[in-house]
Structure 1
C-alpha cells in the first residue's frame, strides 16, 4: 500500500508542476523566444566575423645570433646561504677575441725585443727580458718550443691576469685554480723546429719578441692543501667562462690583444 501511495503522490506533484509551467508561459509568452533570438544574434555575428578577409602581413625573417650556452651548473654557486656573483662568460669567443696575428705582430714589434736567436742569446739578454716561473696564480707547462722569458711589460700583464682570475674565482664562490701557460718566448731556432711539425706556426711569430703568451683554456691546476681534504670538483668549462671574463676585461682596458685559438686550445695574447 505504501508503494502505491507514494506513486500516486508523485503523479499528482508532477501534474501540478506541469500546470504551473503552462500558466507561466501563457502569462509571459516572450520568455520562450528570448533564448532563440539571442542565439540568432550570436550566430549572425559569428557569420559576419568569419566573412571578413584578413590580409596576411609580410614580415622579414629574423636571424638569431648563435649563443654559446652556459650550463646551469656554471651560472652560480651558493654556499652557507650566500649567493655569489654569477658566471657570465662572453657571448661569443670568436667575437670577443678576434685579434689576428697581424694585429698582434704590430704590438709585438712596438713593445718587444729584437728576436732572440737561441737559448744562449736569451741568457745574454737578461737586461731586456725577465725570467718567469710557476706562480701562486698560474702554472707553467713543460716548455718544449719556447723558454720562460718575457718582457717586463708582458710579465706584469701575466701577473695581473692571474690575480684577477683568483679574485673572480673567490667572488663567484669557485675553488681556486691556476690557469696553465703553454707558450711564451720562442727563439728563432724554436720557430724553425716548430714549423717542421706544425703547419700553423708562422715564421714571423709574435712569440719571438717576448710579448706574447698562450694560456690553455681546457686544463687547470687545482689549488689545495696536500694534507687537507679534497677540493670540490669544478668543470673546466666553468673555469674557462671565468677566465674569458677576465681576459675580456683586460682587452677592454687596452692591456692586450687576444685571439681565441680553437685548434691549439688556448687564448693567444700579446701585450699592448
Structure 2
C-alpha cells in the first residue's frame, strides 16, 4: 500500500493526527487501532506467508555512523526555528504534526520532549513503522511496535536535561522537529483482542529486523542514523 493511501486511511481513522494538541504527550494505540488502519492485512505469526530470514546488518556502528554535526546540518535545513518552551510550541502548531497517535509505533511516556515533528519527519516515522510491520509479517514474526523515546525538545527541555545528563547536547537536533529516537532494546507486543495471547519475541530478534528496515531507509537517502550505545537507541534525523 502506498504511503499516500496509508496516510489517508490513518487520518480517516485518527483525525487527531492532524490536530494540534501540544498538551498531550502519550497516546496508547492497541491492536484494534492497527486493524482499523490496515483492515485487509493478516499480521498473525501463523499467517500462511512465505517466511523470510532475518539477516540484520554486518555492524551497527558501521551501518549507522552519522554524527551529531551531520545530523544537525540536516535538522537546521529541514526543521523549524528552535522552540523555546511549551508556550512557544503552542504558537507553532501550523509548522508541526502531532505523532502521538501513529498506529505503527508506540510513543513512550515523554518527560523531556513532546510528540511533534515537521511533516517531512512525521512521514519518515510513519514509513519506518509500516516497513517494520511489513518485515515482521513476511518473516512470520508476531506483530510488535517500535518504541519512540524522544521527539521534539524545547530549549527549556534541553536545559533541564543537561542538568542530569552530561551527554545531552545544547544545540540538539531534537530542537528542530526533525529528529526522533527509537529504542532497540524494548518493543511493544500487539495483542489480538479476539485471539490467543501472542508471545513476546526476543528483543535481539526484533532489533535485527529493525536494523534491516533502518538500513534500507538510510540507503534510500531518507535519513541520517546514529547507533547510540549508552542511550540504547537509534538517533534519526530526516534528510
Please classify the TM superposition score into its range, dividing by the shorter chain length: 0.7 to 0.9
Residue 113 of structure 1 is matched in structure 2 by 80
Residue 191 of structure 1 is matched in structure 2 by 158
Alpha-carbon contact 2:50-2:138 (below 8 Å) kept? no
Residue 177 of structure 2 is matched in structure 1 by 210
Aligned counterpart for 1:123 among listed residues 82, 87, 90: 90
RMSD: 1.5
Residue 156 of structure 1 is matched in structure 2 by 123
How far did residue 227 of structure 1 move? 4.7
CA change 1:165–1:192 in 2 (3 A) is same
CA change 1:181–1:80 in 2 (3 A) is closer
Query: For the residues of structure 1 that align with 2:144 and 2:235, how far apart are their CA atoms?
Result: 20
Aligned counterpart for 2:113 among listed residues 135, 138, 146: 146
Aligned counterpart for 2:226 among listed residues 247, 251, 259: 259
Query: For the residues of structure 1 that align with 2:199 and 2:99, how far apart are their CA atoms?
Result: 29
* Partner-residue secondary structure (3-state), 1:163: helix
Unaligned runs of 5+ in 2: 1-44
Residue 85 of structure 1 is matched in structure 2 by 52
CA change 1:141–1:79 in 2 (3 A) is closer
Which structure has more RCO (C-alpha within 8 Å, separation ≥ 6)? Answer: 2
* Equivalent residue pairs, number: 195
Query: For the residues of structure 1 that align with 2:197 and 2:98, how far apart are their CA atoms?
Result: 32
How far did residue 228 of structure 1 move? 2.7
Aligned counterpart for 2:70 among listed residues 89, 99, 103: 103
How far did residue 134 of structure 1 move? 3.3
1:169 matches 2:136: yes
Query: For the residues of structure 2 that align with 1:137 and 1:130, how far apart are their CA atoms?
Result: 16
So what's the TM-score if we normalise by structure 1?
Answer: 0.69
Query: For the residues of structure 2 that align with 1:239 and 1:205, how far apart are their CA atoms?
Result: 28
Residue 102 of structure 2 is matched in structure 1 by 135
Query: For the residues of structure 2 that align with 1:139 and 1:190, how far apart are their CA atoms?
Result: 21
How far did residue 127 of structure 1 move? 1.1
Residue 201 of structure 2 is matched in structure 1 by 234
How far did residue 80 of structure 1 move? 8.4
Query: For the residues of structure 2 that align with 1:228 and 1:247, how far apart are their CA atoms?
Result: 30
Residue 56 of structure 1 is matched in structure 2 by none
Higher helix proportion: 1
Query: For the residues of structure 2 that align with 1:246 and 1:107, how far apart are their CA atoms?
Result: 21
Per-residue displacement from partner, 1:224-250 (whole Å, max 9, x unpaired)?
123531113310000000000000000
Query: For the residues of structure 1 that align with 2:101 and 2:189, how far apart are their CA atoms?
Result: 14
Query: For the residues of structure 1 that align with 2:132 and 2:86, how far apart are their CA atoms?
Result: 31
Residue 220 of structure 1 is matched in structure 2 by 187
Residue 49 of structure 1 is matched in structure 2 by none
